[in-house]
Amino acid sequence: MALEASGFSRQDGWSFLHHRLDTLQQLPYEVIDITECASDPYGWYVRLRDKNGTNLGRAVVSRPVEGTAVLEWITLAPEPDGSGHLLLSQYLAHLADRGVHELVVLLDTSADHTDGGSHGPFRELHQQAGFKEIDQLHPYTRRP
């Protein structure tokens, strides 16, 4: 409020989401391939597919530091029944099996608040899978 009162305008920013994976119950998951990324970001390339080999999603996760990793990006096949959060939960269960205790993700709020403040599909997907918002970061620019 102080910045806005001093002539600054709030811009779209980022929302920091967090998930404690060590609280997850074991979940059965389909076939997951995990390989080391050879380029930036250094970490794991994760591919989720069903028993028939159909690609259901991909993600890049940073290499964990003391059990904490960053979900750099994720893409999931659209699920007609809205069960994309189940696919994300399968990713999370697999990461927990590999020693990741906490996962954080940074979501762009401009794509998230397209209708004046309601939760967008990206945020809903993560929240349904158990992520909680811990903070927001917004840049400010001086109004002319």
How would you classify the pairing of strands 132-137 and 14-20? antiparallel
Q: What is the pLDDT of residues 80-119, one digit of tens each?
A: 666 677 777 778 888 888 888 999 998 887 644 444 444 4
Q: What is the pLDDT of residues 20-58, one digit of tens each?
A: 988 776 656 566 777 777 766 678 888 887 777 778 888
30 vs 10, residue with greater confidence: 10
The C-alpha atoms of residue 59 and residue 37 are separated, in whole angstroms, by: 11
Q: Virtual CA dihedral for 75, 136, 119, 126, nearest 10 degrees?
A: 40
pLDDT at 12 over 80: yes
| Domain regions of the chain by residue span | 2-138
Determine contact, residues 64/100, Cβ cutoff 8 Å: yes
In whole angstroms, how large is the CA radius of gyration of the chain? 17
Considering the domain 2-138, what is its CATH architecture?
A: 3-Layer(aba) Sandwich (3.40)
Task: Write the DSSP assignment of 18-53 as a string of letters.
Answer: EEEGGGPPP----EEEEEE-SSSSPEEEEEEE-TT-
Q: What's the full length of the chain, in residues?
A: 144
